[in-house]
């Protein structure tokens, strides 16, 4: 089975590609230089020439806060780019895996979001990712939409690394009114491979059990054995350009381990 991965240089892509290879897949890794998904003609030519059986579409505009002032840039990658990839996948009858996000939901529910719940994003990143989902569904019938959340991995900027970088501060403010499911990119990669054996459709894949950002930070320092002054605050006090959903727990979750167990393995493999 030949798998083409878009955004292979990203945080997820860098863990996903070797795990695919370990599972016997032939992997075509692509990054923005080889395959810029906003270039319609070049993307079509590239995908038609390579003829993968599966495309795992990880490329995205992922800066949630910058997307608030750069909607058109986020739209170009997350919506138009996904549409271009979906049309090419359709032409060669490849299966398409689109990695999506908990931020497609508004966070007002008080039980876990199911794949069948209707998205209602509250920031530009979430809006463009949801429109990307719609483009995939419209142009390619052989799709897997895999929504994940609060990703961290060894090859990218993420909450875990950000929090650890603050360890010498006198106090560290962390919001306690955002609840979600932290997910290690390695666990997500394995879940994606499992999902490839399931029927086409929408899936949720994230760390099992949920936590607040504050308790997540607390667990990170507890596991590292580092004493810090963590101070809980509300998201109103911790102002960021993009609104975040207060509760974005994904239910009906596929194949990932409890988030605190995965965190332990991640921290053990981490090089300072
Ligand atoms: N990180 C999270 O917490 C999170 C949560 C839920 C879902 N997701 C989704 O998971 C997927 C992977 O996220 P990630 O954290 O691995 O993101 P990432 O590290 O930002 O990787 C995204 C990759 O896409 C590439 N890219 C951007 N524009 C492109 C273009 N026009 N053509 C080709 N490639 C392009 C980026 O390259 P450059 O760096 O060179 O621009 C980058 O390598 C994304 O779909 C994201 O929306 C992420």
Nearest protein Cα to ligand 1, atom 43: 10
- Tens digit of each residue's pLDDT, the chain (272 residues): 999 999 999 999 999 999 999 999 999 999 999 999 999 999 999 999 999 999 999 999 999 999 999 999 999 999 999 999 999 999 999 999 999 999 999 999 999 999 999 999 999 999 999 999 999 999 999 999 999 999 999 999 999 999 999 999 999 999 999 999 999 999 999 999 999 999 999 999 999 999 999 999 999 999 999 999 999 999 999 999 999 999 999 998 777 899 999 999 999 998 77
Domain membership flag for residue 269: no
Q: Is the residue at 268 inside a domain? A: no
* CA distances in angstroms from 223 to 137, 165, 184, listed in the order given: 41, 15, 15
For residues 96 and 88, the answer to whether their CB atoms sit within 8 Å is no
Kindly state whether residue 65 falls inside one of the protein's structural domains. yes
Distance in Å, CA 213 to ligand 1 centroid: 22
Q: Closest ligand 1 atom to the C-alpha of 36?
A: 32
Provide the number of structural domains found in the chain: 1
Q: DSSP letters along 77-130, please?
A: IIIIIHHHHHHHHHHHT-EEEEEEEGGGS-S--SSPBPTTSPP---SHHHHHHH
Is 19 within a domain?
yes
Q: Is the pTM of this model over 0.95?
A: yes
Which pair of tokens denotes residue 92? 């060669």
Output the six-digit token pair for 138: 């419209």
Return the axis-axis angle of helices 259-269 and 185-195, rounded to nearest 10°. Answer: 120
Atom in ligand 1 nearest the alpha carbon of residue 151 = 3
In a domain, 216, yes or no: no
Measured by CA distance, the residue closest to atom 10 of ligand 1 is 99
- By the 8 A CB rule, do 71 and 123 touch? no
CA of 260 to the centre of ligand 1 (A): 24
- Which domain range does residue 82 map to? 2-158+181-209+248-257
Does residue 88 fall inside a structural domain? yes
CA of 19 to the centre of ligand 1 (A): 18
Q: Which two tokens stand for residue 195?
A: 């999902």
Cβ–Cβ < 8 Å for 86, 138: yes
Catalytic sites, residue numbers: 125
Residue 24 placed within a domain: yes
Q: How far is the CA of 13 from the centre of ligand 1 (A)?
A: 8
Residue 10 lies in a domain: yes
Ligand 1 pocket by C-beta < 6 Å: which residues?
6-7, 9-13, 31-32, 35-38, 58-62, 77, 81, 99, 101, 129, 148-151, 156
At 103, which CATH number?
A: 3.40.50.720
């Amino acid at each position: 089975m030949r798998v083409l991965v878009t955004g292979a240089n990203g945080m997820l892509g860098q863990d996903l590609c070797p795990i695919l290879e370990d599972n016997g897949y032939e992997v075509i890794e692509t990054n923005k230089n080889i395959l810029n998904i906003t270039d319609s003609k070049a993307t079509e030519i590239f995908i038609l020439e390579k003829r993968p059986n599966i495309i795992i579409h990880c490329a995205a505009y992922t800066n949630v806060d910058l997307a608030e002032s750069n909607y058109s840039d986020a739209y170009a990658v997350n919506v138009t780019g996904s549409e271009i990839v979906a049309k090419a996948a359709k032409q060669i009858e490849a299966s398409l895996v689109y990695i999506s996000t908990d931020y497609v939901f508004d966070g007002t529910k008080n039980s876990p979001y199911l794949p069948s719940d209707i998205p209602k994003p509250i920031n530009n990143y979430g809006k463009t990712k949801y429109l990307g989902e719609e483009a995939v569904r419209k142009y390619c019938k052989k799709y897997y939409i895999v929504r994940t959340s609060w990703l961290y991995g060894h090859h990218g900027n993420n909450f875990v690394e950000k929090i650890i970088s603050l360890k010498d501060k006198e106090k560290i403010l962390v919001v306690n009114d955002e609840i979600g499911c932290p997910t290690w990119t390695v666990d997500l990669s394995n879940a994606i491979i499992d999902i490839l054996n399931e029927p086409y459709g929408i899936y949720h894949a994230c760390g099992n059990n949920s936590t607040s950002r504050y308790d997540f930070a607390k667990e990170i320092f507890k596991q590292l054995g580092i004493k810090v002054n963590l101070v809980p605050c509300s998201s109103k006090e911790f102002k960021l350009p993009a609104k975040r959903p207060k509760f974005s727990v994904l239910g009906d979750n596929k194949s990932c381990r409890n988030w605190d167990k995965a965190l332990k393995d991640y921290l053990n493999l981490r090089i300072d």
